[in-house]
Amino acid sequence: MSERDQRFFEREVSRRRFLAISGAASLAGLLAACGGSDSEAPAVGSSDATSTEAASTAAATSVDAAAPKPGGRLRIAHVGGGDAETFDPGRGSNFIDASRYFNVYDPLTRVNPDFTTSPALALEWTPNADSTEWQVSLRPDVTWHDGSPLTANDVIYTLRSMANEGHVSASSVANVNLDGLKAADDLTVVIPLKSSNARLLDSFLQQNTVIIKDGTTDFSKPVGTGPFMFQEFTPGKSSLCVKNPNYWDPGKPYVDEWEDISIDDPAARLKALQGGEVDMISQLGFVEAKGEEQKGEIQVLAAPSPSVQVFIMATDKPPFDNPKVRQAFRLACDRQALIDVALAGYASPGNDLAGTKLPFFLDAPVPTRDVEAAKALLAEAGVTNLEVTLQTSDVVPGFVEAATLFAEQLKEIGVTATIKKEDAGAYFDTARIYTKMDFCQSFWTLSSIGLWYEQALLSDAVWNETHYRDPAYDELIRSAQGAPTEAESADLWTQVQQRQLDEGGYIVWANQALVDGAASYVKGVVPSAFFNLGGWNYRDVWLDK
């Protein structure tokens, strides 16, 4: 580990010591709730300054003791995004897009399987006294796929491009004084903020905040700094990338080629894995996962996670513009029944808030189903014989099953819900139907409470699914992000979350494990609480065949 890497870890351990320690116990508990044992949980929260890297390495070597074998093509099947699939990080919101972003480009900071962080392109994040300005030190000797060096200007260009109309992660730079961005030197970026943010790093952990090259406007042949280099791409079908021989992480990636393949049908994805047509699949069906665990013919990669399955009610559209209707729908929901039927037990019941076990999560009670109270709320709202359309899709395992069962549960409170199954490729496409549906479902992976509220519940968030818009609430979220102490943060985040419990448009019914599949010869994959297939980490994967 370099001296700069060491300093990064020391800063992170000091700044997040209580968070990591509480997170270790929390993730272990979540694993137990999802059907595993505490002994299976990743190690978290060591006071060793190198713990983040050591935890990931130990997890991999405990499974794959043999030395990695280089070579081969890694073939991975995902739910596709149709013609909307893209290598443009500002546009894509499908899982297959995320897979491509995290392997052709690099983020500033990586999220490890246990939710600790480690440096990617950024080695140090240094705030001023009141966290209104940050200095980010970049990794030296990183080159783009075309051979040019990574510089501070690339990061500045990326951040400014995120403010472009329609960029998926525009909210991440909404508090950045973009005109004031500057390069202190070739490898140091100064980021001034409009208001204090003591956890700025959290805003740049997701796939749409990866770093692009200064001046990039055409993503048809993308150039990144990541472990793989672009070769060819047919949206809705497949992409092929090859090993980056000059990757900054020595010796990686191990495979020579990586292919992402779009297969929307869950049964077809599993069949492709079983038949040797692909090596890994994301989003293995839950019922199928139970059966494959018993057969033992493939690897079932299951990771406890704060990821959530939710029903969405648009707070600006009748009948869901009435908070009593929203509360009635919450009370109609039998969460454990949904988990048993739709998720085969790979989850714990949600309490209508996202981010269980993460720092600052409000551990409110899980609502108990109460049919009579739900009926009374609808009566108070003046709603009778209510008919709604519930939009669903095969885009995420369990969606259709959960929607079908929830429609049955709603009948008991006098609501008729008609199921409308949408195309998987269109479902999470903001240019088509995503964020435009009145009553539907969604799925989120989370890395921090702050980032989720920034992406989902700020008034101008691109992924504002519930259409919850309130300038005063925006200010409360920003205040919580900028709180100078942990105690003030905890108080403000409690207020943020209590507002959602009182009047939000989410029914967070399940804290879901992330479940994928891999052939027995696939090595180096560490199931991650952050994202599917080890956090879309293919640089560590190798093929033992």
3-state secondary structure 212-249: CCCCCCCCCCCCCCCCEEEEEEECCCEEEEEECCCCCC
Tell me how far apart the alpha carbons of residues 38 and 153 are, in angstroms, rounded to a whole number: 45
HSE of 502, CA atoms in CB hemisphere, 13 A: 6
* Separation between Cα atoms, residue 441 and residue 390, nearest integer Å: 8
C-alpha to C-alpha distance for 114 and 46, rounded to whole angstroms = 11
Nearest Cα residue to 509 out of 305, 286, 348: 348
Residue whose structure tokens are 């090993």: 243
In the block, residue with structure tokens 């292919």:
259
- What tokens appear for 94 in the block? 């499908």
**Strand order from edge to edge, sheet including 347-349:** 347-349, 506-512, 308-313, 439-444
Does residue 319 have a cis peptide bond before it, meaning omega lies within 30 degrees of 0?
Answer: yes
At 100 the three-state DSSP class reads helix
Structure tokens at 434: 């995503």
Say how far apart CA 396 and CA 271 lie, in whole Å. 17
* C-beta neighbour count of 268 within 10 angstroms: 13
Predicted confidence pLDDT, tens digits, the chain (545 residues):
444 444 433 333 333 322 332 333 334 344 344 443 333 322 222 222 233 333 333 344 344 568 999 999 999 999 998 999 999 999 987 899 999 999 999 999 999 998 899 999 999 999 999 999 999 999 999 999 999 999 999 999 999 999 998 898 888 998 999 999 999 999 999 999 998 888 899 899 999 999 999 999 999 999 999 999 999 999 999 999 999 999 999 999 999 999 999 999 999 999 999 999 999 999 999 999 999 999 999 999 999 899 999 999 999 999 999 999 999 999 999 999 999 999 999 999 999 999 998 999 999 999 999 999 999 999 999 998 999 999 999 999 999 999 999 999 999 999 999 999 999 989 998 889 999 999 999 999 888 899 899 989 999 887 999 999 999 999 999 999 888 888 999 999 999 999 999 999 999 999 999 999 999 999 999 999 999 999 999 999 999 99
DSSP string, 350-380: --S-S-TTSTT---PPPPPP-HHHHHHHHHH
Angstrom distance (rounded) from CA 263 to CA 274: 14
Write down the residue that tokens 């040019």 correspond to.
148
Contact between 400 and 394 (Cβ < 8 Å): yes
Q: Is residue 155 helix, strand or coil?
A: helix
pLDDT at residue 309, as a whole number: 97
What separation in angstroms does the CA of 169 have from each of 88, 172, 208, 427?
12, 6, 6, 18
Residue-level pLDDT at 94 = 87
DSSP 2-71: -HHHHHHHHHHHHHHHHHHHHHHHHHHHHHHHTT--GGGSPP---SSTTHHHHHHHHHHHHH--SPPPP-
Q: What is the pLDDT of residue 486?
A: 86
500 token code pair: 């959602």
* Distance linking the first and last C-alpha atoms of the chain: 31
- Position 538, amino acid: Y
Residues 178, 195: Cα–Cα separation, whole Å: 13
The answer to whether 497 and 484 are in contact (CB under 8 A) is no
Output DSSP code: residue 334: -
Residue range 308-512 forms a domain whose CATH class is: alpha beta
The residues, any chain, with a CB within 8 Å of residue 413's CB and separated by 6 or more, are 328, 331, 332, 371, 374, 375, 378
Backbone φ and ψ of 518, nearest 5°: -145, 150
Per-residue tokens: 99:
């897979």
Under CATH, which number does the domain 228-302+514-543 receive? 3.40.190.10
pLDDT of residue 431: 87
Q: How far apart are CA 128 and CA 192, in angstroms?
A: 10
CATH 3.40.190.10, the chain: domain bounds? 228-302+514-543
Retrieve residue 509's tokens. Answer: 């019914």
185-226 tens-digit pLDDT: 999 999 999 988 888 998 999 999 999 999 999 999 999 999
All CATH 3.10.105.10 domain ranges of the chain, comma separated, are 308-512
The strand pairing partners of 234, in sequence order, are 238
Contacts of 135 (CB under 8 A, 6+ apart): 124, 125, 126, 127, 184, 188, 189, 190, 191
Distance CA 43, CA 28 (A): 9
Determine the Cα–Cα distance for residues 406 and 82; give it in Å rounded to an integer. Answer: 28
Q: To which residue do tokens 């448009």 refer?
A: 505
How far is Cα 543 from Cα 384, in angstroms, rounded to an integer? 59
Report the C-alpha gap between 389 and 407 in whole angstroms: 10
408 CB-contact burial (10 Å; exposed 0-12 / middle 13-18 / buried 19+): exposed
pTM of the predicted model, to two decimals?
0.80
Rg (CA), the chain: 22
